[in-house]
Structure 1
Amino acid sequence: MFEREPLVGTMTAQVAKIIGMRVVGGEFLPGDALPVESDLCSAYGVSRTTVREAIKQLSSKRLIDVSPKIGTRVLPFSDWNLLDRDVLAWRLHAQFDSKIIEDIYEMRLCFEPRACYLAAQAGNAADMQLLDRRYRELADAYTSNEVRAAAEADLAFHMTIIEVSRNGMFITIGNGIKAALRVSSEMLLRHATRPSEDLELHAAVHRHILAHEPDAAAKAMTDLLSASQARLLPYTVKP
């Protein structure tokens, strides 16, 4: 459905990603024991040290639990650190289904309209200039027919609004879900039938923030996110 990122980083990170995607993809279910260390070493052609470090990373993300008595087992979904960047990215790659999209947009609808409200209410002249530049970059990217460039411009536009809100919690959440924002933007652009409509929704957000109209800005973002979710869901897999 979208371009997969190549394996990068250390061997430990690569092994952690492979095992992590097997967990979030459902190959290993909650309560299941992972293969023993020697089997993982053989399967991936790596040392015991590499496997141990990879397991330690997955444990820190609360995907698995390591116990001397019962071994390494997959934790329940409710224990997973779902805002961890790696966990979120692995879920998107392993099972890009409608439930993930619904969860992401429910969260975005909870804080992005409010971020627009705060940005319109208290943004200074420098903030408005930056947001205006981000919107111009987005508009230019939409005419380039380059999906990846347009997705990055869309991400920059949304992240700028969140940063201008000056709400530290919003900024932390925004940084945590960058992978989800990027992938959903790419999906929307790949399947867009009328890109001008999407740009018009962004233009309304841009216009109301720059006019310091908090309520209108918040509504414009709600309209944008609701429309984006409705357009994206038909291209996801039912869980």
Structure 2
Amino acid sequence: MSEVRTDLGLPVTTFLGSTPPRAPAARLGVAVVHDLVSAIVTGEVQPGQSLPPEGVLSQQFGVSRTVIRESVKRIEEKGLVKIAQGRGTEVLPTSSWNVLDPIVLSALVENDDSVGVLDELAVVRGSLEGSMAAEAATARSDDELATLRESFAHMDETKGDKRFEQADVDFHLIVMEASRNRLAQSITKILYERARESTRFTGAVTDEAIQLTLDEHARILRAIERGDAIAAENAMREHIRVAWQRRRLPTHRRS
């Protein structure tokens, strides 16, 4: 495996030395950005280190310097690096990263061996969706309540077949819409869509888990029907917490 030293004299061997140069192909920039982001979020290149110069990256990826330059600019826009004229491209600390960026978040989830990122995602999602459920309990219209009831009935009808998962998602989307909180809704959708890319998030589905999920959604629905914001928030938070614990594989639990 070849070893390349960065501008700070630090070696980078994994993402530069483990694969041969790539042949030119469509969407090369997308592939380069993906690999660079993955190298950074996995710690192959640590904060404070610099990426290798354009020439080295161009040779390794089998693309032009222009593609490399544009790709590095894209990861700078995501908050992962800082390009300093004459000093190279320095990796920034995690506090600077835009973790809601779809590519960054996907890379974090994809390389989340301990599922710590998914644990954090469940906490954030529970907080946001709990807040939206509370808002929906007081802001929802009669039509939205009727739609939510129909959505729950559809979940009950589809338990045991492949449509259940989408029916579950639809229920949550209706609650979000009824909350009128567009920002929380947008953030939650980003988090959920990225999490669903991981098989460690979806987990195994059993008949018992489906029934528990239905019971939890019923509590959310009843609270929204009553206009009880506190109960709706607590029911949604608890559902997201325990649903994740049901799916979370024991082998991935942290000590």
- TM-score normalised over the length of structure 2: 0.77
Q: Any residues of structure 2 matched to 1:200-219 within 5 Å, and which? A: 200-219=215-234
Report the identity percentage.
27
- Bigger relative contact order (CA 8 A; separation at least 6): 1
Q: Name the residue aligned to 2:160.
A: 143
Shift of the alpha carbon at 1:182? Answer: 2.5
Which residue type is aligned with residue 40 of structure 2?
Answer: V
More divergent stretch after superposition (121-130 vs 186-195):
186-195
Alignment partner of 1:66: what SS?
A: strand
- Distance in structure 2 (CA, Å) of the matches to 1:133 and 1:187: 30
Q: Name the residue aligned to 1:234.
A: 250
Of structures 1 and 2, the larger Rg is shown by 2
- Distance in structure 2 (CA, Å) of the matches to 1:43 and 1:10: 16
Which residue type is aligned with residue 83 of structure 1?
Answer: L
Which residue type is aligned with residue 196 of structure 2?
Answer: R
Which residue type is aligned with residue 101 of structure 1?
Answer: L
Shift of the alpha carbon at 1:124? Answer: 0.7
Alignment equivalent of 1:94, drawn from 111, 131, 151: 111
Shift of the alpha carbon at 1:30? Answer: 0.9
- What do residues 87-123 of structure 1 show as CA deviations (whole Å, max 9, x unaligned)? 1111001224332123212212322112111111110
Q: Name the residue aligned to 2:22.
A: none
- Distance in structure 2 (CA, Å) of the matches to 1:188 and 1:197: 17
Alignment equivalent of 2:204, drawn from 165, 187, 191: 191
Superposition RMSD on alpha carbons, in Å? Answer: 2.6
Does the 8 A contact of 2:45 with 2:91 survive in 1? yes
Which residue type is aligned with residue 180 of structure 2?
Answer: R
Q: How many residues align?
A: 227
Structure 1 unaligned segments of length 5 or more: list them: 1-8
Q: Name the residue aligned to 1:168.
A: 182
Q: Name the residue aligned to 1:45.
A: 62
- Distance in structure 2 (CA, Å) of the matches to 1:168 and 1:103: 22
Does the 8 A contact of 1:113 with 1:218 survive in 2? yes
Q: Name the residue aligned to 1:107.
A: 124
Does the 8 A contact of 1:151 with 1:182 survive in 2? no
- Distance in structure 1 (CA, Å) of the matches to 2:127 and 2:118: 14
- Distance in structure 1 (CA, Å) of the matches to 2:194 and 2:147: 23
Q: Name the residue aligned to 1:5.
A: none
- Distance in structure 1 (CA, Å) of the matches to 2:229 and 2:72: 46
Does the 8 A contact of 2:33 with 2:74 survive in 1? yes
- Distance in structure 2 (CA, Å) of the matches to 1:27 and 1:204: 45
Shift of the alpha carbon at 1:51? Answer: 1.4
Flag the structure with higher helix content: 1
- TM-score normalised over the length of structure 1: 0.82
